[in-house]
C-alpha cells in the first residue's frame, strides 16, 4: 500500500514494504512500494542501495 500523507505542508510520507529472508546469510530480501514488484537486494549495502534508489527524487516505484 502506498500512502502519501500530509502531516504538514512540507512533510510527505511514503510507505515501503521490507521483506527479509530470515534464513539468509548475508541478509537478503526485497523492498517494494505499493503494488509494484519488489526490488531484490543482498547484503547490508544492497539494502542501503535499494532504499536510496526508492527515495531518489523522480525514481519510479521499486521494481526488478
Which residues does 14 contact at the CB level (< 8 Å), separation at least 6? Answer: 2, 3, 4, 33, 55
Q: What is the pLDDT of residues 4-63, one digit of tens each?
A: 554 454 567 888 999 999 999 999 999 999 888 889 999 999 999 999 998 887 655 544
CA-to-CA separations, 28 to 6, 10, 31, in angstroms, rounded: 32, 33, 10
C-alpha to C-alpha distance for 61 and 9, rounded to whole angstroms: 23
Read off the pTM.
0.67
C-alpha to C-alpha distance for 29 and 18, rounded to whole angstroms: 7
Q: Give the pLDDT of residue 42.
A: 98
Q: Give the pLDDT of residue 11.
A: 62
Q: Give the pLDDT of residue 1.
A: 47
Q: Give the pLDDT of residue 3.
A: 53
Q: Give the pLDDT of residue 4.
A: 53
Amino acid at each position: 500500500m502506498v500512502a502519501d500523507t500530509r502531516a504538514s505542508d512540507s512533510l510527505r510520507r511514503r510507505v515501503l514494504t521490507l521483506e527479509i529472508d530470515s534464513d539468509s546469510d548475508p541478509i537478503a530480501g526485497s523492498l517494494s512500494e505499493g503494488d509494484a514488484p519488489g526490488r531484490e537486494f543482498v547484503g547490508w549495502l544492497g539494502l542501503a542501495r535499494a532504499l536510496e534508489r526508492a527515495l531518489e527524487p523522480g525514481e519510479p516505484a521499486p521494481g526488478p
